[in-house]
Structure 1
């Protein structure tokens, strides 16, 4: 359950002001949990504990979520022109989903005038969407691999 909290940082609204605090809290919770677990694992073990590897990987994901949250916040409050490479990348990956979300939030007349205008706020929403799905997939895959590894290990005993 704690691993899912990492991905949820990208679902918090940017204007709430709690994104970095939430991401840092999850990161610190994982760091404390990893230190508690590492105290209970024998230091002279022949094999590496799968749970320690899993928690270290999730700790890395939590640290990266803090950095990515900062990038999203910088993009949301960005000024100036959007770089051409970012426009091309954004149009190829997530523009259609973000357009649907914006269409739901604004009236149709306002949307028609700004249909082709890409703003930093739209880029930030797209980044949040992409990061959320990447994190959900990574956490699901790593958790599934850990579960399968435990099942194989205990069946062989």
Structure 2
């Protein structure tokens, strides 16, 4: 199988964009990830899949983490944690109850470690949701190798007024 073509095929599935963050020894870490989903409502569980070669895979091992779902204006944040860091960080860190997160995200989901699984060239981290919050803003979306946005219902209602 041609892995590049397989990747292109999978890119036809539009996803939200997240940055998974954690803290180790007072150092803040993050990685951009679109491989994220809810697993269970009872107990509340989510999963993120991280490339084994990524530094974040080591940092997430047995650490609480936060999934920051990005708003449409946070493309710079996504790029910063996707390996193209900005000289000045395009976000502000906030200490959560269990992990660090960003102030202006569309939503955040704080998790404690639940399980880790072998996912081939990735590690699948499952977290138990301990705290979350969300806002009505436009979402950042990744489709076919490009960022775009998804307009929220609140934005549509404001336009129609």
TM-score in same-fold range (> 0.5): no
Q: TM-score, normalised by structure 2?
A: 0.26
Q: TM-score, normalised by structure 1?
A: 0.26
Higher helix share: 1
Higher relative contact order (CA 8 A, sep 6+): 1
Higher strand share: 2
